[in-house]
Amino acid sequence: MLGDDAELTAAVLAAQDGDETAFRTVYRAVQPRLLGYVRTLVGDPDAEDVTSEAWLQIARDLERFSGDADRFRGWAARIARNRALDHIRMRGRRPAIGGDETELTSRPAESDTAGEAMESLATGNTLSLIAQLPQDQAEAVVLRVVVGLDAKTAAETLGKRPGAVRTAAHRGLKRLAELLDADPESTGALGAVPSQREPRTRAVSSAGVTHMRSRTQKDV
């Protein structure tokens, strides 16, 4: 994973200029967190395939992206979210996006309290516990803590207001703390996304993504 946002920003810019090594670097930096986010939307069995589809679109549209590392993570998360919702619709299931934004924004959380909760839970929880949260809270927590977005970028990804996302994250983190208290044997860290399994036949490796990117560049 890249050491800081400046390195990721530089890698994205180089990838936009056709540097496939840089694109692989971006992929390795962002993929584990992006996969963790998609798992909260479609579940583990389909997460790798959906995330692979997202990367194909990221590779295809990268030249049109503009922004720094944080905006790139938000942009990639938005693409992954759209692919996940498309997948849910194609499977004939009701999208698992819950919560009422009006209700959320009516009682905004104290951002300092939410920030303290994030810091304390980032080293004491697992992604499996997030699955027990209402979907709006789960998405907010994963985007803020796992993907690493600020409230504004996470809100743009979800199509909501920053206050709604801060409140959802605050409530989700509070609930996660309660779950941790109830299950003190939980292992792992919230900030540590589960390692990827061996890719299936449809899963796209970083090399496969860059190959797709080179093809799409020639098609432009």
Evaluate if residue 143 carries a pLDDT over 80: yes
- Report how far apart, in Å, the C-alpha atoms of 57 and of each of 61, 144, 177, 212 are: 6, 23, 36, 10
C-beta of residue 84 within 8 angstroms of C-beta of residue 41? yes
User: How far is the C-alpha of 96 from the C-alpha of 126, rounded, in Å?
Assistant: 20
101-182 maps to which CATH number?
Answer: 1.10.10.10
Domain ranges of the chain: 5-95+204-219, 101-182
Question: How far apart (Å, rounded) are the C-alpha atoms in residues 181 and 24?
Answer: 40
Q: Do residues 38 and 86 lie in contact, with contact meaning Cβ atoms separated by under 8 Å?
A: no
CA distances 23 to 29, 31, 54, Å, are 10, 11, 14
pLDDT at position 81? 93
Q: Do residues 176 and 133 lie in contact, with contact meaning Cβ atoms separated by under 8 Å?
A: yes
CB–CB of 169/140 below 8 Å? yes
Amino acid making up residue 108 = P
Model confidence pLDDT, tens digit, residues 150-190: 889 999 989 899 999 999 999 998 888 888 777 655 544 44
Architecture in CATH for domain 5-95+204-219: Orthogonal Bundle (1.10)
Task: Give yes or no for a contact between 144 and 118, defined as CB atoms under 8 angstroms apart.
Answer: yes
Reported pTM: 0.66
Residues 30-55 pLDDT 10s: 999 899 889 888 887 899 999 999 99
Average pLDDT, the chain: 74
Total residue count of the chain as it appears in this document: 220
Q: What sign has the CA pseudo-torsion 50, 52, 54, 60?
A: negative
| CA terminus-to-terminus distance, the chain | 30
Instruction: Tokens 């498309």: give the residue.
Output: 86
Tell me: the pLDDT tens digits for 106-115?
333 344 444 4
Q: What is the mean pLDDT of residues 203-210?
A: 51
CA 197 – CA 213 distance, rounded (Å)? 24
Which segments of the chain does DSSP mark as H helices, in order?
5-16, 20-42, 44-61, 69-90, 101-105, 111-121, 127-130, 135-141, 151-158, 162-182, 206-219
Of residues 137 and 206, more confidently modeled: 137
Give the C-alpha separation, 193 to 91, whole Å. 26
Report the share of the chain in percent with pLDDT over 70.
65
